A and B are shown apart, each in its own frame.
Chain A
Amino acid sequence: MEHNVTFLGYIPILPLIGAAVLGLLHVGTCTRKPIHEKIYGVFACIGPLLSFVLALRVFFTLKGMPEEARYLTQEAFTWFQVGDLNISMGFLADPLSSLMLLFVTLIGSLIHIYSIGYMSGDKNFGKFFAYLNLFLGSMLVLVLGDSPVVMFVGWEGVGLCSYLLISFYCEDTDNVLAGNKAFIVNRIGDLGFVLGMGFLFWAIGAQGFDFMSLKANAHVLAPGVALTVCLLLFVGATGKSAQIPLYVWLPDAMAGPTPVSALIHAATMVTAGVYMVARFSFIYAHVPLAGEIVAWVGILTALLAAIFGMFQDDIKKVLAYSTVSQLGYMFAGVGVAAYSAGIFHVFTHAFFKALLFLGAGAVIYAMHHEQNIWKMGGLKKKMPKTYITMLIGALALAGCPPFAGFFSKDEILFSALATGHYGIWIVGVLVAGMTAYYTFRMIFVVFHGEPRDQEAYDHAHEAPAVMTVPLIILAVGALCAGFLNLPAIFGGHQQVSHWLAPSLTEHHPHASLFVEIIAIGASVLAFVIGIRAAYKRFGAGAEEPQFQGFAKFAYHKFYVDELYDAVFVQPYKRIGDAIRKTIEPSVTDGPVTLAAKVYMIAGAAFKVFQVGYVRVYALYMIIGLSVMSLLLSQSLN
């Protein structure tokens, strides 16, 4: 079988070309009459759709290969070579990246189409799509990169696009600050990633620094080094995937347009951390302690975010915290070495969370950019399509069988239970109940009951087809994606896990039927309790509550932002201030001004010779000539 192909590179390049074209079109016309939005829309959707087609081709090519040798590579060019470090701009498609490719390009394309409707009328329409295409291209580089370095290029690219798109409405200072926050917090994580890469290269990079060589050499890693590498890489993952302690940027990132929240901050970019951990599963699998830490950080993040999510009143913030919470689940999954379960949750989550965000976007669009759920209500009648699709998404998120989220979440919890992580399992089940509660709190408040703002309600209307069609497609995905990995207890074959198996280093836990039934039963029970609590509280219409005590504490997100500000930001600022006032004038500026003064004095001394008369300059020349002549006369005899 031929493993070297030439079409892999086109997958990221097509959206990048689209980004360049759109960007140039926008820059070229932004001062004049803007070109028609349809032109932008068509250009914007070509790249992602073609990439999706190519991703399908990759998938079917891989499917046609024998299971143990399913990979495709392309080495575009040698990027740089320093000593042992030989980095080529190479792409690698194996089952893991092909799965990521499929849903990234599919959901990316759908969200591009949806955005044509959502963003219509915006004066930076072209810029938005240029960024969105750039994001998709970077994300595909991240997914396809065949070495940590190429992956890091995509990693930084998506970080940049995230920053650009969060502060897309840059007239508002808050949005710009949110973008800055995302970017700076991500830098902390990226430092971890870079250090991790450095350690990895130092340890086993000499024989080749692409994933295949690393995998082959992983067994020679000393346990201490492996643990360090794992933890440093995980720091990178906590930054990108919004885990404790770096999760604070994701809720603020909702300042961006809603399709951005759906694509970047729910479906694709934030799952890059999970993807990265799964990619490095060959190291994590050797270090159980690292996995333990990852799993606990993940599940605690899930718990914390779920608590926050129960008390938010901004529809996008609710979804943002649910995203953080679900990401926590994914990390719990990969932490207990159930990599395929984690990736499968990434896959299903992409569908239902993109669906929820796009539905929320449709609601926001209908309510003229009102995001407070306490100003909505009774929208069920006005927006039936949005309601039904969002209901499907909510059921999937809450983990109602047989929707997608149920299977993937259950797989994670089952793995935790089967591998003996009882603490993680208990917290996970608890969070599952809370998830059901806050999801249906949102659904009930927004769509049921009586309208709270009659005027806005009267103006509300169903979104145009260009927005509802992607919703319906995603709803189908949210409904059916779970069946792809149907566990044996329901008569399935776990196709996704088998598909991913060659890319991952994992051992499927074998557990008794009893354990499996306990896991499923607990999940269903948690779901039922959560949804029932939500129905009791909000089912028949409720007024905006006044938070007291713990609720108030949670409403203010445990004051974590304020804590970070007081502990890190302010002291840092003060240290900087102190350095600027004391050290800089004397220590740093001293030598500089001294050097300048030396040159001034020397200049003043030499100025004497610059009399300005041409003949004097000639005289200098002749004097030089004379001196040379005197010296030469000595030797010429």
Chain B
Amino acid sequence: MIQSYLTVSVILFCLGIVGVISRRNVFTVFMSIELMLNAANLSFVALARLHESMDGHVLALMVMAVAAAEAALALAVVILLHKHKGKLDTNVFSLLKG
């Protein structure tokens, strides 16, 4: 039964990866990352239930706090990006091009 939860977590995580590598929209990419964090959270909570220890819950809390911090910063960056380039395309930023 815990396996079912973990499988859901895996599916969500893979969908997150697909979102990150396939999409160009900044918001979608960002939310895909959030999706991956959530998938991780789900596995934490599921395993906490399995072991009946609440450390997993605390860890999930931490992940959420980090996600909140990340959201604040990432959205600030998105605003800047939009201000400077007027676009929401991750391909605009290709300064690392060799």
Contacts and interface: CB of A to CB of B under 8 A. Distances in A.
Interface of A: 606-615, 617-619, 622
Contacts of B4: none
A612 B21 contact: no
Contacts of A622: 17, 21
B29 A610 contact: no
B98 interface: yes
Given A622-B17, A622-B21, A615 B94 contact: no
A612 B98 contact: yes
Contacts of B29: 615
B20 A618 contact: yes
Interface string B8-35: 0000000001001111100001000000
A609 B97 CA distance: 9
B24 A611 contact: no
5 contacts: A610-B96, A610-B97, A612-B97, A614-B93, A615-B20
Contacts, number: 36
Contacts of B24: 615
B53 interface: no
B7 to A, nearest CB: 16
Identify the 5 closest CB pairs spanning chains A and B, nearest first.
A610-B98, A612-B97, A612-B94, A607-B98, A612-B96
B97 A619 contact: no
A12 to B, nearest CB: 59
A618 B94 contact: no
Given A618-B20, A619-B21, A622-B17, A612 B90 contact: no
A39 to B, nearest CB: 60
Nearest to B97: A612
A608 B98 CA distance: 7
Interface residues of B, number: 15
A477 to B, nearest CB: 78
Contact of A618 (B21, B91, B95, B97): B21
A618 B94 CA distance: 14
B39 to A, nearest CB: 15
Is chain A's interface secondary structure helix, strand, loop, or mixed overall? helix
Contacts of B21: 615, 618-619, 622
Given A610-B96, A615-B21, A617-B96, 16 more contacts: A606-B98, A611-B94, A611-B98, A612-B94, A612-B96, A612-B98, A613-B91, A613-B93, A613-B94, A614-B90, A614-B93, A614-B96, A615-B23, A615-B90, A622-B17, A622-B21
A617 B95 CA distance: 13
A617 B90 CA distance: 12
A609 B96 CA distance: 11
Contacts of B23: 615
B96 to A, nearest CB: 5
A622 B32 CA distance: 15
Contacts of A614: 90, 93, 96
Interface in B59-98: 90-91, 93-98
Contact of B97 (A606, A611, A615): A611
A615 B98 CA distance: 15
Contacts of A618: 20-21
A610 to B, nearest CB: 3
A24 to B, nearest CB: 49
A608 B93 CA distance: 17
Given A618-B20, A618-B21, A613 B98 contact: no
Contacts of B95: 612
A258 B11 CA distance: 92
A607 B96 CA distance: 11
Contacts of B96: 610, 612, 614, 617
Contacts of A613: 90-91, 93-94
A617 B20 CA distance: 11
Nearest to B93: A614
A170 to B, nearest CB: 51
A609 B17 CA distance: 20
Contacts of A607: 98
A614 B92 CA distance: 10
Contacts of A612: 93-98
Interface centre among B20, B94, B98 (most CB of A within 10 A): B98
A10 B95 CA distance: 63
A608 B23 CA distance: 21
B26 to A, nearest CB: 10
Contacts of A615: 20-24, 29, 90
Contacts of B93: 612-614
Nearest to B17: A622
A500 B29 CA distance: 91
B44 to A, nearest CB: 21
Contacts of A608: 98
A280 B93 CA distance: 76
Nearest to B20: A618
A617 B98 CA distance: 13
Question: Which of A609, A614, A617, A622 has most chain B Cβ within 10 Å?
Answer: A614
A618 to B, nearest CB: 5
B88 to A, nearest CB: 14
Nearest to B14: A622
Nearest to B21: A619
Nearest to A621: B21
A611 B96 CA distance: 7
A610 B20 CA distance: 18
Nearest to B23: A615
A372 B93 CA distance: 79
A612 B96 CA distance: 4
A611 B95 CA distance: 9
A610 B96 CA distance: 7
A606 B23 CA distance: 25
A612 B98 CA distance: 7
A622 B18 CA distance: 10
A619 B22 CA distance: 9
Nearest to B29: A615
Nearest to B19: A615
